[in-house]
Structures are given as structure tokens and as C-alpha cells.
Amino acid sequence: MSAPQWRTSSAVPITASDSPALSNEPEKGEKKSTSLSNVLSSTNAKLATLSFQPRNPVPANQGEVTPTLSKKLAEAPVFVPRGNSTPRATSPTKAYEDYQLASNFDTYDTGSEHAAHGYKAPGFNSSNGAEDMMATVRHPLKYHLYAPPTPHVSNFHPSHLASMTFFMDPIMHENLLRKQDALSTTQPQQIGEHLPEILHLYHHLVPLEPGANPPSSALMDPRFFSKGIKHGLTGASGDPSRIFGHRTTIYKATCVLDGKSYALRRIENFRPASETSIQTVERWRKIRHPSIVAVREAFTTLAFGDHSVVFVYDYHPLATTLYMEHMTVKPLQPDPRTGQLQPASMHVPERVLWSYLCQLSSLLRVIHASGLAARSIEPSKVLRTSQNRVRLSGCAIFDVLSYQPNPPAESLPENQREDLVMLGKLILCTACNNSAAAQTVDASMDLLRKRYSTELVDLLTKLIETHELDTNEGFNADSLVVALAPRFSDELGSVLNHTDLQEASLMRELENGRLVRLLCKLNIVQDRPEDEGNSQYTESGDQYILKLFRDMVFHPVDEHGRPVVDLSHILLHLNKLDAGIDERIMLTSRDELSCLVISYAEIKGIIESLYSAIVRHN
């Protein structure tokens, strides 16, 4: 094999020599190999034996040597400068001139902040220029390095710590992937199903509730298809018309304006008394709260073959309801120790109940302050979008269904007190794991006293008996929030801890596209199809160096010649290449007859040079 044509750089090629006098030819049966350590050790040995030897040593018995000038140097002419500048005075007292500041200098604010963008150029800190001695030295950010996890979020099991340091939590990653899948999943229409292709500004309607034509499994939580969860979203009693008095159906659809997915709830066989009733939705659009499913718009349609009203809400993929989470039969779960299937625990921890109370009471306070009433606090209308995270859906529907042009003055306070009663019954049914627990309040309260604290039971009793209290006592949403103040402190701590975990996960994925950009450049400059037909193109120089580097990073083998798949090996070399450090590596050809010693900085320069050339010719 002939040595390749190396580029002009500091790379050191090491090739097998063809001269028998200069190479140690191995014996027959012995494998040829070139070791970098042998080369370096022999070079160091030669350097170690060198010493300074003067050409004309002075004899020991000779006296001091007096230096003399040669005859040519003595006869050299006197140097006379050609410039027109005035020579400097030989004495400090002669030709004295006052020092004056120049008038053409650039103004510089020494108090300004010294910004350091990127890496400093070579020689930046050398003594060839003056620097501000009072300036604070600021080092640039090292974008190529991964920071270790912060102490408050690093309490993981040792077996998970390695992967959790560089990647997102696997559980969070799986949940986000399933939500992304639900956002993009569509379903063809079933036989006998007549859904409009385009409804107002929305298309690709997909049903989200179980029924005669159940939705795709990717759109719903797998527990929807277990025993006892046939009507997990439509209603606690299995009757979809029990809540609003009309049959409702909910769909997922895509908006043509922004391409986002929304939830469309259709009220079947309902014709509004006037167009003014639809305009009441505008008041709900202005409410922004983390515990509400935001209302977008409402419109009437004949696309389904009848008079229907459609309410548009934000779509939360894979959202369940409190009815499905806490009031339905769960499938058997495997025991973590024995592996045997056992019934799932239905007990709801008290801290979860307090969390539900804090979130929904805060929402009621905002709704009541806006002069509205929720009127839809029911187990099948409270969505659970994530761990202990609830949102109230179905808002604005009752305002349209029971619209009155001139409502009585006492109707709004009555509806707001009804919201507090419904909130107490919701928590009562959730704690008892029974949607009918609110029908027997006394028996349900006796059961709660055996499971939960007296503080929780007393608060639920006060909420359910709100109608019986004197209106002058002033128990409302504001009073409820004040009563829950200690629990709001606990809830705030949980939210802040969750925020820290989310931020830590975001930090792990902060530079996830950095190596992708590097790999894109590396693959763009290698194996170009236009170079195959070029007779002048040869695998030498820069292209050959990149080919050897690719083999070292992605095609390593063990001592038996078997391929090695090591992600840490790949990430290590790619991070060093992206940083462009001065560390040198040895690249060996596939036939092991030639090798090259080169730094990561030089390889990065080769990639950038070839990539820039391709971009210029584009």
C-alpha cells in the first residue's frame, strides 16, 4: 500500500517503510504492527542522549580569553539613519517636551461590562497589548460540556444515575412520546359513521369517548379498555345526558388556521333560542387559569344532520377523568416482589385530596370574581392531565343551554354557592371511590372519619352544607381559599419541587442538537456522489483523514475482530471533536499498514473547510 497524500498540517503520518535497511522486518508468521508508543519512546531516547558540545573548547590550562573584533568589523562605516525624525536628546535635561494626550484616540468606558462571546483568539492574553487591570476575567461558556445533575435532583438509584445524567427520565420520556402520538393519531371513519370532513375551521374529526365506534387506542389511556370503564368520560352513571340534559359527543380535530389539535364537544339536537346566547362564551374566553380547560369558541352547525352546538376547548392528550381514576374498577396489577396479579389499591392519599381542593378552589375564586359560575364540577368533567394535575372542563355550556336575557339578581350567588357544594361532593366521592357517595352524605362522612383527618372531614361538611348556612356569614370562594392557606403552602412546595425536576430534565436536553449538527456536517462532506465520476478524485488528504476518523469512532472492533457498540465511546470522541481540543489521536488504516497522528482541532478544521467549500458551491 502506498502512503496517502497528506495535507499540509502538523499531522504526523506513520507508514510502513519500503526500505529493508531502515525497517525491522518481522520474521515469518509474526504479525506486522506499528506501535505509537515505540515510536515516541525511541524519539524520547534520542532526545535524552543529546547534550551541548561547543565547537572550540577552551583548554583548562589557558587563561581568560579576551574577545577581539575582526578587521572587517572595525572598518565598518558609521550608521546614519535615513528618517527625518528628530533624534532623541542624549541628556534628560535637553530637548524636554511637555507630554500631551492624543486627540484621535477611541473613547473607552472602563466601567462597562466586558462581554466574551465564544472562545478567545490564540494569543489574546499575550503581552502584545495593554489590558484593563481592573476588568473582571470572564471565561466563555463551554457549550461542549455536559453539567452534572444538580444536588437537589440527583437522588436516584445508582443503576439509573448514569442514564439519568445525560438523558431525560425514561418515564417522562415515554409519557411525552405517547402524548405526541395522540396528537398526530387519526382514525378512518367506521361503517355507519357519518362525520363531516370539515366542520367550520376544523378537519379530521376523531371521537375521544368509548361508544359504538370507540376511538383508536393511541388516543386514550389503556385503562379505558379495562372492565368497568365503558363510560369514563361521558358520565358517572353511564348516561351521557345526565349532566347537561342533552346527549354530548367529544371529538379531536385539527384547526386549519394554526394546525393545532382541539377538543370539540357537540351538544346534539339543541337549537339556541338566540344568537346572543352564543356570545356569552366570550366572557369565558378571557379566563386564563392553570386549572381550567380553556374555552376557545362556540358555533352552531347542521353538518351532523341536526341542529347542534359545538364548543371548542384546548386538547390535552391522554387526559383521564376523576371518575375513571378513582371510581372505576382497575385491572389487576403484578406485585413487584412476587409477580402475582393482585387487585390495585383504590385508596386516595389525603395529600392528593388536598391538592385537588387547592387547585379547584383557586379556579372557583377566579371564575366567581369574573361574575360567572362553573356549574360543571362533576367527576366526569374534571380532567386529570398528569400526576395529581386536574383541570375543569365543560365550562360555558350551561350558560348557553340555560341562557336568560334578564336573569334574576339572586341566580348568580345561588349558582356560585352551588359550585362550592358540588366541589365538596366531588372530593367526597373521590375519597370514597364511589360516584353515589354524595347521595348518602352521613354514611360517607362516617367512612371518611376512619380514613382521613378531622380537618378534611370538617371542611367537606362545611362545603356540602353551604346552602344551609346564612348568606350573611359570607362563606364563598375567597373564604375557602383562606381556609386552605396552610395547604396552599404545601402545594406550593410540591409545585416548586416539580419545577426543579422539569428544569433538570430540560438541562439534559439543552444541547441535544449539538452532536446532530456535527454528524450532519460529517456526513455531508464524506462520500459525495459527484466525486465518484471525477477521475482526479482520490481517497487521500482530507477525505482520507475523515474516513479513518469515522472508522475509529463508529467501527471499532475488539481483539477478536468482533464489532463493539459503545455509546460512551462515540459520545466521547464526538464531544472532543465538537470542542476542537488539541489532544492528539492515532488513526489507523483498515489494513494496519499506515497510521496518522492528528489532533481533534485539525479534524474539526478539515470538516469546517470542506463544509464551507460545499456551501459556497451550492
Taking each helix axis as running N to C, give the angle between helix 350-369 and helix 454-464, from 0 to 180 degrees, rounded to the nearest 10.
Answer: 30
**251-255 long-range CB contacts below 8 Å, 24 or more apart?**
251/195, 251/205, 251/206, 251/207, 251/208, 252/205, 252/206, 252/208, 252/219, 252/315, 253/199, 253/202, 253/203, 253/204, 253/205, 253/206, 254/202, 254/203, 254/204, 255/201, 255/202
Distance CA 482, CA 487 (A): 10
Q: Are strands 341-342 and 584-588 parallel, antiparallel or unpaired?
A: unpaired
Q: What per-residue confidence (pLDDT) applies to 43? A: 46
Q: What per-residue confidence (pLDDT) applies to 69? A: 55
Q: Which residues make up each annotated binding site?
A: 265, 314-321, 380-381
Q: What per-residue confidence (pLDDT) applies to 75? A: 65
Half-sphere exposure of 487 (CA within 13 A, CB side): 21
Taking each helix axis as running N to C, give the angle between helix 514-525 and helix 600-617, from 0 to 180 degrees, rounded to the nearest 10.
Answer: 70
Q: What per-residue confidence (pLDDT) applies to 100? A: 52
The answer for residues whose C-beta is within 8 angstroms of residue 365's C-beta and 6 or more apart is: 477, 478, 480, 481
Question: 600 and 581 in contact (C-beta within 8 Å)?
Answer: yes
Cell for 579?
470542542
Select from 254, 293, 259, 300 the least CA-distant residue to 276.
Answer: 300
Task: Give DSSP secondary structure letters for 165-205.
Answer: HHS--HHHHHHHHHHHHHHH---PPPTT----SEETTEEEE
Domain map of the chain by residue range? 186-330+345-505, 514-617
Distance CA 272, CA 274 (A): 5
Question: 391 and 249 in contact (C-beta within 8 Å)?
Answer: no
Region at 192 (left for phi over 0; alpha for psi -120 to 50; beta for the rest): left
CATH architecture for segment(s) 514-617: Orthogonal Bundle (1.10)
Give how far Cα 487 sits from Cα of 232, 362, 429, 478, Å: 29, 12, 20, 15
The answer for residues whose C-beta is within 8 angstroms of residue 492's C-beta and 6 or more apart is: none
For 502, the enclosing helix (H) or strand (E) is helix 485-508
Cell for 339?
409477580
Q: What per-residue confidence (pLDDT) applies to 584? A: 94
Q: What per-residue confidence (pLDDT) applies to 19? A: 46
What is the third-level CATH fold of 186-330+345-505?
Transferase(Phosphotransferase); domain 1 (1.10.510)
Question: 373 and 509 in contact (C-beta within 8 Å)?
Answer: no
Distance CA 374, CA 364 (A): 7
Residue with cell 470522541: 573
Q: Do domains 186-330+345-505 and 514-617 have the same CATH topology?
A: no
Q: Which residues make up each annotated binding site for ATP?
A: 265, 314-321, 380-381
Q: What per-residue confidence (pLDDT) applies to 135? A: 47
Select from 372, 408, 404 the least CA-distant residue to 277.
Answer: 404
Reported pTM = 0.64
The ranges of the chain with pLDDT < 50 are: 1-8, 19-52, 54, 91-96, 99, 101-103, 105-132, 134-136, 141-144, 153, 212-217, 220-238, 472
For 79, the enclosing helix (H) or strand (E) is none
Q: Are strands 295-301 and 308-314 parallel, antiparallel or unpaired?
A: antiparallel
Distance CA 568, CA 211 (A): 49
Distance CA 167, CA 162 (A): 9
Distance CA 15, CA 596 (A): 8
Q: What per-residue confidence (pLDDT) applies to 159? A: 52
Distance CA 361, CA 501 (A): 26
Q: What per-residue confidence (pLDDT) applies to 549? A: 93
